Structure 1
Amino acid sequence: MSTLTVRQYKHSDFSAVKKLFIEGCHEHASTTFYQALRLHQNWLLMILGFLLPLVTVGSILLAILDVVVVLVVLWLCGRKFFYGYATHALADDMKDIPKYYLQREGYNYWVVESDGEFVGMVAAIPSYLPGGEKNTELKRMFVDQSHRGKGIAKVLCRTVIEFARKKGCKAVILSTTTVQTSATNLYRSVGFRCTHTSYMTGFTQRLIRLQWIYFRYDVNNSK
C-alpha cells in the first residue's frame, strides 16, 4: 500500500504542478464536446445543416460539410473555455505560487506525494460572503490520471477542511463545472452539498450549455 504525504508547496514543485494543471484543464475539453453532442439543440442544428443544402442545391458534399462545421464549432467551444481558463490562471495566481498563496493570511497551497512521487495538489483562499461570513474556498485541486481512484482527492479535500477549521471558518466552498462529473461525485462523497448552479453567459458557453456548480461543506457540522 502506497504512503501518501501532503506537504506545503515548494519552488521545486512548479514544473510538476504546472504540467498537471494544464493536463487537468485540457482533458475537460473532450468531455464538454461529448456533452454538447447529447444536446437536442445541437442535433437539430446538425440535421438542419445537413438537410438545407441537400434540399436547396442537392449537394450531399455540402450537406456533410455543414455537419462537420457544426462538430468543429462544438469542439472549439469546449476547448476555448478550458484552454483559456488554464492560460488565465497561469498568468494570474499560478504565475508566482509562493507570493500568491504562501505569503498571505488565509491562503495555502499543498502538494501530495505517493511514495515520494508527485501525484496531486490543492489550494485554499479566504472567501467572505455577504454579511461577513468567513469561509475558505477550495481551489486548484488536481490528481494525476494514473493515480485516481486511490482516495488522494479525498485526502486533499480533508486537508483544506482541516485548514478552514483551524482558521475559524464556517464552511469550505468551491465551484466546478457540471461536465466534471467525477469531481462532483467526489465532493458529494466527502460531504459537500450543492448549493446552486448557474449557466455561463458567454455565447460559446451557452451553445454547449456549460454550467457552474457550487458546493459547500459546513465545517462546524463536521466531525
Structure 2
Amino acid sequence: MPTLIVRQYKPSDFPAVKNLFIEGCHEHAYSTFYHALRQPHNWLLMILGFLLPLVTVGSILLAILDVIVVLAVLWLCGRKFFYGYAAHALADDMKDIPKYYLQQQGYNYWVVESDGEFVGMVAAIPSYLPGGEKNTELKRMFVVQSHRGKGIAKVLCRTVIEFAQKKGCKAVILSTTTVQTSATHLYRSIGFRCTHTSYMTGFTERLIRLQWICFRYDIPNGK
C-alpha cells in the first residue's frame, strides 16, 4: 500500500498544483459536451438543422454541415465555462496561494503525496450563512488522474472536515456541477447531502443545461 502524506501547501508546489488544476478543469469540458448531447432540446436543434436545408434546398452537404455547427457550438459552450473558470481562479485566489490561503484565519491549502509523489490537493475557506452560522467551504479538490480510485479524494475530504471541526464549524459545504458525476458520488459516499441545485443563468450554460449542485456535511458536535 502506498504511503499517503497530507501536508500544507508550500510555494514550490505551485507548478504541480497549477498543472493539475488546469488539467482538471479542461477535463470537465469533455464531460459537459457529452452531457449537452443528452439534452432533448439539443437533439431537436440537430434534427431541425439537418432537415431544414435538406427540405428547402435539397442539400445533404449543407444539412450535415448544420449538424456539425451545432456540435461545435455545444463543445465550445462547455469549453468556455470550464476554461473561463480556470482562468478566473488563476487570476484570483490561486495567483498567490500563500497570501490568500495561508495568511488568513480559517483558510488553508493542502497537497497530498503518495510515496513522495504529488497526487492531489484541496483547499478550505470560511463561509458564513445568514444568521451567522459558521461553516467551512471545501474548494479546489483535484486528484491526479492516474491515482484516482485509491481513496485519495476521501482523505482530502476528511482533512477539510477535521479542519472545520477544529475551527468549531457546524458544517462543511461545497458546490460542484452536475456533470462531475464522480465527485457527486464521492461526496454522497462520505456523508454529504445535497441541499439544492440551480441552473446557471448564462446563455451558453442554459444551452447545455449546466447546473450547480450544493452539498453539506454536518459535523457531529459542531459548535
Give the TM bin, normalised by the shorter chain. over 0.9
Matches within 5 A, 1:129-208: 129-208=129-208
Report sequence identity in percent: 89
Structure 2 counterpart of 1:14: 14
Relative to the length of structure 2, the TM-score reads 0.99
Q: Which amino acid aligns with 2:213?
A: I
Relative to the length of structure 1, the TM-score reads 0.99
Map Cα deviations across residues 121-151 of structure 1 (whole Å, 9 max, x no partner): 0000000000000000000000000000000
TM-superposed CA distance for 1:14, in Å, is 0.2
CA distance in 1, matches of 2:198, 2:117: 37
Q: Which amino acid aligns with 1:170?
A: K
Map Cα deviations across residues 38-90 of structure 1 (whole Å, 9 max, x no partner): 11100110000000001001111110100000000000000000000000000
Matches within 5 A, 1:10-159: 10-159=10-159
Structure 2 counterpart of 1:220: 220
With over 3 angstroms needed to count, the CA separation of the structure-2 counterparts of 1:221 and 1:189, relative to structure 1, is farther
Q: Which amino acid aligns with 2:174?
A: L
Query: How many residues in Structure 1 have an aligned counterpart in Structure 2?
Result: 222
CA distance in 2, matches of 1:189, 1:35: 23
CA distance in 2, matches of 1:125, 1:204: 29
Structure 1 counterpart of 2:2: 2
Q: Which amino acid aligns with 1:152?
A: I
Counterpart of 1:220 in 2: which secondary structure?
A: coil
Map Cα deviations across residues 148-207 of structure 1 (whole Å, 9 max, x no partner): 000000000000000000000000000000000000000001110000000000000000
CA distance in 1, matches of 2:186, 2:162: 17
Give the gaps of 5 or more residues in structure 1.
none
Map Cα deviations across residues 88-129 of structure 1 (whole Å, 9 max, x no partner): 000000000000000000000000000000000000000000
Runs of 4+ in 1 over 2 A off after TM superposition: none
Single out whichever of 186-195 and 212-221 deviates more from structure 2: 212-221
Q: Which amino acid aligns with 1:136?
A: T
TM-superposed CA distance for 1:221, in Å, is 5.6
Give the gaps of 5 or more residues in structure 2.
none
CA distance in 2, matches of 1:24, 1:86: 9
TM-superposed CA distance for 1:220, in Å, is 2.3
CA distance in 2, matches of 1:38, 1:92: 33
Q: Which amino acid aligns with 1:110?
A: W
With over 3 angstroms needed to count, the CA separation of the structure-2 counterparts of 1:72 and 1:221, relative to structure 1, is farther
Q: Which amino acid aligns with 1:105?
A: Q
